[in-house]
Amino acid sequence: MQPAEYSAAFAPGLTCPRYPAPADVAAHRGKGVVQRYNVYRNNVTVSLIHALADIYPAVQRITGAEFFRAMARFHLRATPPTSPLLFDYGRDFPAFIAAYEYAQALPWLADVARIERAWLDAYHAADRPALGAGALAAVDPALLADLRFEPHPAARIVRSRYPAVAIFTQHKTEGAAPPPQSHGAEDALISRPGMDVIVSRLPAGGAAFLGNLLAGAPLGTAAAAAFDEAPSFDLSANLAGMVSAGVLTALQPGD
C-alpha cells in the first residue's frame, strides 16, 4: 500500500470512535490492533482539544475547562482537521459554538471566539509598514472622496450584538474577571500596529466605515455607509484612529 493510501485508510477513525480500526493495521508481538489503534485515537483527540484551548483561551476561561473539553470533543468529531498546522485548526469552532445546544445560555460566546480567532490570524499575518500619520495631509482635499486604501494584512473586524469586546478583554488573561461595564452591541477591531496584536472597540459607524475601506471602497462611499448607520459618526476622528491603529498601509488615488 502506498503512503497516501495507507494514510487515507488510517486517519478517518482517529476522530471518530465508532470507526473500526483499519483492516491493514498490524500489531507487533501479539498485541491487540484495536487497543493500539485507540492509543493513536486518544492522542489525536487530546492534541486537538489542547490546540483549541490554546487558540480559544478566553472561551475556556468563560466556560470552564470541563465544559470546554466536552464541547471541543464534539467539534473535532464533527470537523476533523484539514491542515497539518495546528494553529490553522478550529476555524469553524465559533460557528460550532453558535449552534452548540449547551452553549445557548451564553449567546455572546461565539463572538468572543471569533475575536480570538481573528487575534491569532492577525498575529500570523504578513508584516507591512503602516500608513504614516501625515500621508493624508498631502492629499488634495478635492480628491479625498475618491481615495482608496490598501489594508494591513493583520486588520480584522468582528461585529457583535453583544459586549463581546468587553467580555473578551475581561477573560483574555488568568484571574477573576470583573463584571462587564457594557451591555450593548460592540464591534471589535483587531490590528497589529507594531509587534503586538491589539483588540479595541470600534465607535458607532466605525465597523461600517472600516469594513468598506478594507473591501476597497473609496473614502466617500465608506463615509456614507458609516453616516447611514450612525448619523453622529465622526469622520475625522475615525480616520485618524484607523491610521493610528495601523490598519491602513498605502493610499491609492481615485480613477
pLDDT tens digits, one per residue of 68-81: 999 999 998 888 88
Give the mean model confidence (pLDDT) for residues 101-126.
96
Of 106, 133, 163, the one marking the end of a domain is 106
Lowest mean pLDDT of 51-65, 120-134, 136-150, 168-182, name the range.
168-182
**91 plus 74 within the same structural domain:** yes
Rounded-to-integer distance, Cα 132 and Cα 249, Å: 8
Give the mean model confidence (pLDDT) for residues 231-245.
93
158 three-state secondary structure: strand
Lowest mean pLDDT of 58-67, 131-140, 202-211, 232-241, name the range.
131-140
Q: What is the pLDDT of residue 162?
A: 95
**190 plus 164 within the same structural domain:** yes
**178 plus 226 within the same structural domain:** yes
- The phi-psi region of residue 185 (left if phi > 0; otherwise alpha if psi is between -120 and 50; otherwise beta) is beta
Give the phi and the psi of residue 18 in degrees, each rounded to 5.
-85, -10
pTM (2 d.p.): 0.85
**132 plus 93 within the same structural domain:** no
**180 plus 97 within the same structural domain:** no
Of 106, 135, 164, the one marking the end of a domain is 106
**147 plus 245 within the same structural domain:** yes
Give the phi and the psi of residue 204 in degrees, each rounded to 5.
-55, 130
Q: How many structural domains does the chain have?
A: 2
Rounded-to-integer distance, Cα 25 and Cα 68, Å: 33
Give the mean model confidence (pLDDT) for residues 45-67.
93
Of 71, 106, 141, the one marking the end of a domain is 106
**73 plus 177 within the same structural domain:** no
**139 plus 77 within the same structural domain:** no
Question: Which triple of cell numbers denotes residue 189?
Answer: 477591531
How far from the centroid of its chain's Cα atoms is residue 209's Cα?
20
**74 plus 86 within the same structural domain:** yes
Kindly tell me if the per-residue pLDDT of 152 is higher than 90.
yes
**34 plus 50 within the same structural domain:** yes
Give the mean model confidence (pLDDT) for residues 158-185.
81
Report the run of H or E that residue 187 belongs to, with start and end: strand 186-191
Question: Which triple of cell numbers denotes residue 30?
Answer: 501479539
**123 plus 57 within the same structural domain:** no
**119 plus 243 within the same structural domain:** yes
Q: Is the torsion defined by CA of 159, 166, 184, 107 positive or negative?
A: positive
Whose grid coordinates read 461565539? 110
Residue 13: count other Cβ atoms within 10 Å of its Cβ.
Answer: 19
> Which domain, by its residues, includes 133?
110-255
Q: What is the pLDDT of residue 91?
A: 94
